[in-house]
Amino acid sequence: MAVCIAVVAKENYPLYIRSVPSENELKFHYTVHTSLDVVEEKVSAVGKVLVDQRELYLGLLYPTEDYKVYGYVTNSKVKFVIVVESSNTSLRDNEIRSMFRKLHNSFTDVMCNPFYNPGDLIQSKAFDSVVSSMMVQAC
Amino acid sequence: MDRGPGTASGGSFISISENEQRCYSGLSTLCQADSSGKLAASKVGELFRASQLPAETLHQITDVCGAKRLGYFGSGQFYVALKLLAAAQAGLPVSLESIKEELPLPRFADMKDDRDPRYPSRSQSSDTPSHQSAAASESVPRAPMDRGAVRHQGSISERKEPWSPPPSPCRSPPDSPLSYHSYAYSTPRNGADAHLGQTPGVSVWAQDTSSPLHYGAKPPMEHTSSRHSAERPVDHGIVDYPDDPWRITPEQREYYTNQFRSVQPDLGALILGSVARNFFTKSKLPIPELSHIWELSDMDRDGALTLAEFCTAFHLIVARKNGYPLPESLPPSLLPSFAEKDAAPPKLVSEDMFFETSGAPQQTDLVLAERTEPLISFEEPDPGPSLQEKSESEHKALLSEMITPKQDLAEELPQSAFSPKRAPVTTDQEKPPERFHRAPEQDPPHEPEPHVRSRARPRSYSSTSIEEAMKKAEQPPTPPPRPQKSHSRASSLDLNRLFQQGTHGLKSGYLPHPPALPPRPTATQIPHVPPSTEQSSQKAVRQPDFADFDRFREEPPQEMGLLQPPQKPLRRKYHPESQARDPAQTFGSPAHPPGGNRPPQKLSSGQKKDVQLAIRKNKETNAVLMRLNSELQQQLKAVHQERIHLENQLEILRPAAM
């Protein structure tokens, strides 16, 4: 269950960002922003070898005391970032992977919509619902 | 026209004013009085519910008016019932006595009835635009504004778009979606009144009426509405209770089909996303709404519209223009449960869309194979020995042809961690093109592919991590070359296989073989499946998958057993096969590598890897052959020696013999 989910475009501006509203959202925005650096680093490291081998799921980008940040990059350099609470130890790697998979799937569906121009903010309800299902249910 | 006798249910003569008469007759038409004067009970029920009286009151009314006794609503009963409704709404007890007096007309949800100021609870904020009824829970539907208010279903509040077809309050628009108000009454208004664009929108709608007309969505609407409008000249607001606002009537469907034909003459083919976009943009709905409509109607998520999807989208647009709120999810009556023929070759130039989604024109069979787990694709080879031969010959035949499409694919499928899948993918990618060239009549089978492709597309992502994990698991037990081979494309796959036959000494059993094979047989089998199963796009998408799985399920036990150890058994399995093929293929294979080697020169890194692999294999083949050569040479020398020896002996012995 994520605390914050963000989709960042290739040019590193956010296409979609949603956090649990109860917390300080600015903190999450900042976290996502700083995580982009880590993403770039991971991407460029593997890139020296053949690009084919670069995996989409980047894994844990970096942990802080309060939460952990996971990253995922698509082939078109769109990045998904998920922030989860550190206290949430039950969340396994596979679950994070499946969350990214779902995100990727619905992102693809958004892309397929001819009325969506790549680079626009994502306003799809279907995408919203997928994201909501993955967020911590805010009380 | 007081139908006295009918009305005298209680023995008393109930008088009906002219106003009421008009209203009631309109309502009864609404309720579809049939020839004997009976009214459709369902309609009457809906009408009663629209009056928003508690159920028990409604029951009382039914009793009192005599319908219960009679078992049906005759016109008389109906009129009495209506009067009773009015009475109840006025707060009077339900009885015949109360209706003897002059009463206001019964109010129904969404009914615009401005002749009745006397309406207590119901009428409060009636004409204040409903968007102020933030007191959402009480659905105080008021006629024209209702239409706008209705929209809320919460969903659209998120969209801040202006609502282009806002309610047209006092006009009965020719295309009267007033008929569709019935949709509204049941939906309580949540405060989701972000659509405050209503008031300004009203005027917009006035102009828009002509444009929708122009847009042509109206004729069916007009047809239905005019029928009702004629009956109620004054009271525009009377609710119409169509079966279901979301159901497409036959004439609507025909209209949509004609429109489809105007865009795409072949009814079985697809309309591309971009084409559809241009077409629907003409409706002047805001883009986010169109986007939402697209999301709802493109059921198989392939970025193109079949006839069914097109009708759905069109219908949603029409409904939207008429003031209906867009549903969150597709209403059941719009689900593609009707059988639409889906057989058309995919005109998917929207391949670019696929490519944007990280190069996933995954092929049907491939992805099906990998749907549950990628390992299934490796299972497939088991029944394949015979198929292998067949596919091998196909391979060779395709090799030359494959080069060009391969190059295209190489450029188009840039990077992918799906490489293990991509090998078969590209194999399949090539096969359909081949098929298109060679067998145009096979086009229908491929049509489902985009559907399945799209549906399968998500699966490809899901398998990624599993693939990766699997690959990594394989790496320790297998020699280094393997992972790279798993990245290789179809061409090199073929070359690999061909080379392997030459290098029978190799135990590595190149993995790419398993992935290469399954697609081919399944590709041939899949065409049989879709024609029989193609119904709706959704089902069509699903069923090939299921069909394939059945096939897989048939051979589970052995496969699973094989799968557990990472590929080693499969390797060994291929071993004998490769050996068997050795003698036959050995001479054939060297011929191909040169052919394969030439094109890759200018290709991307992936191809270079393939080339390197091919080169490596060539070298191995060379090494083996050289070894063989040297051995044979030695044998030849030995034999030669013996011969000399024997000749010497002969020479020695001959003089003795002579």
Consecutive sets of 10 residues in chain B, 658 residues long: mean pLDDT of each? 44 63 75 60 74 77 71 73 76 70 64 42 41 40 40 40 40 41 41 40 41 43 44 39 68 86 80 84 84 83 83 85 80 63 40 41 41 41 44 47 45 42 43 44 43 45 48 50 47 51 46 45 46 44 46 46 45 46 45 45 77 94 94 95 94 82
Could you give the count of Cα atoms lying within 13 Å of B258 in the half-sphere of its Cβ?
Answer: 9
Chain B residues touching A51 at Cβ < 8 A: 414-415, 605
Other Cβ atoms closer than 10 A to B209: 18
Residues of B in contact with A123 (CB under 8 A): 158-159, 288, 291
Instruction: Tell me how close the Cα of A13 comes to any Cα of chain B, in angstroms.
Output: 18
Instruction: Please state, in angstroms and as integers, the Cα–Cα distance from residue B559 to each residue in B15, B563, B575, following that order.
Output: 83, 6, 17
Scanning every residue of chain A, which has its alpha carbon at the shortest distance from the alpha carbon of B461?
Answer: A101
- Best of A73, A93, A125 to disrupt the B interface by mutation (most B CBs within 10 Å)? A125
Asked if B487 and A53 come within 8 Å (Cβ–Cβ), the reply is yes
Sheet strands (E) in A1-139: 2-8, 14-19, 57-63, 67-73, 79-85
Residue where the block lists tokens 């269950």: A1
Residue tagged 């020699």 (tokens): B479
Query: Using an 8 Å Cβ cutoff, are B233 and B27 in contact?
Result: no
**CA geometry: angle at B289 spanning B284 and B294, to 5°?**
105
Q: Coil, strand, or helix at residue A135? A: strand
Q: Give which of B159, B309, B356 to mutate to test A binding, by max A Cβ within 10 Å.
A: B356
Give B 475-504 residues with CB within 8 A of chain A.
487
| Environment class of B95 (CB within 10 Å of its CB; exposed 0-12, middle 13-18, buried 19+) | middle
What is the distance in angstroms between the Cα of B276 and the nearest Cα belonging to chain A? 8
Spatial separation of the C-alpha atoms in residues B301 and B305, rounded to whole Å: 9
**Across the interface, which of A112, A125, A126 has its CB nearest the CB of B353?**
A112
Q: For residue A53, list chain B residues with Cβ-Cβ distance below 8 A.
A: 417, 487
B322, B177 contact by CB (below 8 A): yes
Task: Identify the bridge partners of residue B305 per DSSP, sorted by sequence position.
Answer: B271
DSSP secondary-structure letter at B72? Answer: S
Q: How far from the centroid of its chain's Cα atoms is residue B152's Cα?
A: 26
B639's CB contacts (< 8 A; 6+ apart) are: none
Q: In the Cβ-directed half-sphere of A88, how many Cα atoms lie within 13 Å?
A: 17
CA-based nearest distance A136→chain B, Å: 20
Q: Are B465 and A74 an interchain contact pair (Cβ–Cβ within 8 Å)?
A: no
Burial of residue B66 (CB within 10 Å: 0-12, 13-18, 19+) is buried
Q: Kind and range of the H or E element at A11? A: none
Amino acid at B595: G
Give me the pLDDT at residue B617, please: 94
Residue numbers in B near A109 (CB within 8 A): 295, 301
Q: Tell me, yes or no, if B181 comes closer than 8 A to chain A by beta carbon.
A: no
- Which chain A residue has the Cα nearest residue B416? A52
Task: Supply the pTM of this predicted model.
Answer: 0.36
Residues of chain A with C-beta less than 8 angstroms from the C-beta of B290: 115
Amino acid A59 reads G
A77–chain B nearest CA distance, Å = 9
Which of these, B165, B166, B168, B61, lies nearest to B112 by C-alpha position?
B168
Q: Do A57 and A101 contact (CB within 8 A), yes or no?
A: no
Residue B273 at interface with chain A, using a CB cutoff of 8 Å? yes
Interface touch B457/A75, C-beta < 8 Å: no
Residues of A in contact with B310 (CB under 8 A): none
Provide the pLDDT for residue B336: 62
- Contact list in B for residue A116 (CB cut-off 8 A) is 291
From the centroid of its chain, how far is CA B184? 28
* CB atoms A115 and B277 under 8 Å: yes
Residue of B284, B415, B489 to mutate for A, most A C-beta atoms under 10 A: B415
Query: Which residue among A52, A104, A115 places its CB closest to the CB of B461?
Result: A104
Residues of chain A with C-beta less than 8 angstroms from the C-beta of B271: none
Question: A27 to chain B, minimum CA–CA distance in Å?
Answer: 24
* Candidates A112, A116, A128, A129, partner chain B, best to mutate (most B CBs within 10 A): A112
Torsion on CA atoms B374, B380, B385, B388, rounded to nearest 10: -60
CB pair distance less than 8 Å for B158 and A125: yes
Question: Residue A108: which of B328, B357, B417 has the nearest Cβ?
Answer: B357
Contact criterion met (CB < 8 Å) for B605 and A53: no
B356 in contact with A at a CB cutoff of 8 Å? Answer: yes
Q: Contact B291/A112, CB-based, under 8 Å?
A: no
- B87 three-state secondary structure: helix
Residue type, B413: L
Residue numbers in A near B155 (CB within 8 A) = 125
Dmax over CA atoms of chain A, in Å, equals 46
CATH class of A2-134: alpha beta
Contact A56 B417 (CB under 8 A): yes
Question: Of A53, A101, A114, which has the smallest distance from its Cβ to B274's Cβ?
Answer: A114
Residue type, B218: K
Distance in angstroms (rounded) separating the CA atoms of residues B378 and B515 = 6
Nearest to A75 among B290, B295, B415 (CB): B415
Q: Which residues pair with A17 in a beta bridge?
A: A6
Contact A74 B358 (CB under 8 A): yes
The phi and psi torsions of B610 (rounded to 5 degrees) equal -60, -40
pLDDT of residue A64: 81
Query: What is the predicted pLDDT for the residue at B445?
Result: 42
Q: Do residues B414 and A51 touch, judged by C-beta distance below 8 A?
A: yes
Angle at A76 between CA B463 and CA B433, to 5 degrees: 70
Is residue B462 within 8 angstroms of chain A, CB to CB? yes
Distance CA B508, CA B514 (A): 13
Span A9-35, pLDDT tens digits: 988 889 998 888 776 788 888 888 899
Structure tokens at B5: 């006798």
Closest residue in A to B291 (Cα) is A115
Nearest residue in A to B297, CA atom: A113
- pLDDT tens per residue across span A73-116: 888 888 999 988 877 767 788 888 888 889 999 998 888 888 88
Contacts of A54 in chain B (CB under 8 A): 415, 417
Put simply, whether B455 touches A (Cβ < 8 Å) is: no
B607 touches chain A (CB under 8 A): no
Q: List the single residue in B272, B356, B487 with the smallest CB-CB distance to A76.
A: B356
Q: What is the C-alpha R_g of chain A?
A: 14
Contacts of A52 in chain B (CB under 8 A): 415-417, 419, 487, 605-606, 609
Question: Number of Cβ pairs closer than 8 Å across A and B?
Answer: 109
A76 chain-B contacts, CB cut-off 8 A: 356-358
**Chain B residues within an 8 Å CB radius of A125:** 155, 158, 292, 295, 328
Residues of A with CB under 8 A from a CB of B: 50-57, 74-76, 94, 97-98, 101, 104-105, 108-109, 111-116, 118, 123-126, 128
